[in-house]
Structure 1
Amino acid sequence: MRAKTAEDRKLIELFDPIAEAQGLNIVRIRMMGSSRAGGARRLQIMAERKSDGDIDVNECARLSRAISALIDEADPIPGEFVLEVSSPGIDRPLTRLEDFEAYEGLEARIELDRLAEGRKRFRGVLAGIEDDHIAIDLEGEAETAMIPFAWIVEAKLVLTDELMKRGAEARAARGDDEDEDEDFGDDDFEDDVANDDEED
């Protein structure tokens, strides 16, 4: 789920070592738009610090510069595109098995690539993991669903009072200023990147 397409998977293999060298994890990569549609595509990279799951604008800028340098050298993306490096945000996507354990007790939406219990979409409170399955207490139902992690195509925390409270507590524990917004959005650091070898 960190990468959705074959192109995304190729890029994440290239970029993971760069992020790791800076003490960061890449949460998700998405190349958006089509090279055939005209105009610039958008390469969205969400990252966070390994130590505490946070990231600031300076770290986003540093990662963006390092990835841009690699792109200039390796030339893995045809055509023009906009590189966007950001925080996952407070209502973050859940892309790794350990995310579902780390955010146990919080509400999430999950979408599958196939039917399970007669549906593809689930909403409820995360109840941990068991082997390679996600446990979720379904909204309005007295049951816990067990979902294979491999079936999940999208998962995201739901912005609730409980999630906001946890975010505020985390900021307080780090000693951040109260008016500092940790969810600084998906467009905090963008670079326009042009590739000279554009497709015809």
Structure 2
Amino acid sequence: MTRSPLLERLAGIIAPALEPLSVQLWGIEFASAGPRMVVRIYIDAEGGVSIASCAKVSRSLGAVFDAEDALPGAYVLEVSSPGLERRFFSAAQMAAFVGQVVDVRLHDPQDGRRHLRGALAAVSGDEISIDEAGKVTSVAFGRLKSAHLVHEFPDTGIKA
């Protein structure tokens, strides 16, 4: 996944602004809502992220963005936790989730496939390995279109 100059600039502004709020930047993504750009900021913290911490970060970053004139034109700022099925923005983020199920989409096919889903077997530098029922596929993180954790609900034994 490549990073745009705007994304790099925002990350450089956001990360230091979050330090006093006891949260870390997990990732940034852009979308559009009509004529406005939507800027989604994902934050994480030890012990999780609350609605109150998202609101506090939103207020703080709104002021920082305005002071730095960080974004061109009108924008909508959204702040949230990465959630149970968190999207990964770097291979390093994935290392803590080795052994868990991930869903990966590739920009270009590898071995005729663009979609991988299986247990994250390893992370080595910028390369990840996914075990799909015994078949391990390794791919460079830069080739990924998207990657996210797949939350598996525990079996409660209750039949529907």
- Same-fold call, TM cutoff 0.5: yes
Following superposition, the deviation at residue 153 of structure 1 comes to 2.8
- Per the alignment, residue 7 of structure 2 pairs with 8
- Please give the alpha-carbon distance, in whole angstroms, between the structure 2 residues aligned to 1:96 and 1:84: 20
Q: Which moved more, 1:84-93 or 1:141-150?
A: 141-150
Give TM-score scaled by structure 1 length: 0.69
**What does residue 95 of structure 2 align with?**
101
Where in structure 2 are there 5+ consecutive unaligned residues? none
Aligned-pair distance for 1:114?
2.7
Which of 76, 83, 95 does residue 77 from structure 2 map onto? 83
C-alpha distance in 1 between matches for 2:108 and 2:19: 33
Aligned residue number for residue 143 of structure 2 = 151
Of 99, 110, 113, the residue aligned with 1:116 is 110
SS in 2 for 1:60: helix
The answer for the alignment partner of 2:44 in structure 1 is 48
Q: Identical aligned pairs, as a percentage?
A: 26
- Residue of structure 2 aligned with 1:67, choices 61, 64, 82: 61
When structure 1 is superposed on structure 2, of 6-15 and 55-64 the one drifting more is 6-15
Structure 1 residues 128 and 64, CA gap change in structure 2 (3 angstroms)? same
Q: Considering Cα pairs closer than 8 Å and 6+ residues apart, tell me whether 1 or 2 has the greater RCO.
A: 1
Superposition deviation, residue 68 in structure 1: 0.9
TM-score (norm 2): 0.84
Q: Report the AA paired with residue 70 of structure 2.
A: P
Q: Deviations over 1:77-98 (max 9, x none)?
A: 1222211100111111122223
Kept in 1: contact 2:91–2:125 (CA 8 A): no
Aligned residues: 156
Paired with 2:127 and 2:29, the residues of 1 have a C-alpha distance of 24
Could you tell me how far apart the structure 1 residues matched to 2:7 and 2:70 are?
11
1:2-51 Cα deviation digits (max 9, x unpaired): x75332222112111112332322111112117xx53x3211111011x3
CA distance in 2, matches of 1:98, 1:8: 18
Q: Which residue in the other structure is 1:193 paired with?
A: none
Q: Give the 5 Å matches for 1:159-170.
A: 159-162=151-154
Q: Is the 8 A contact 2:92 2:125 kept in 1?
A: no
Q: Distance in 2 between matches of 1:135 and 1:144?
A: 6
Structure 1 residues 92 and 114, CA gap change in structure 2 (3 angstroms): same
- How far did 1:142 drift? 3.0
Unaligned runs of 5+ in 1: 166-200
Q: Which amino acid is the alignment partner of residue 23 of structure 1? A: S
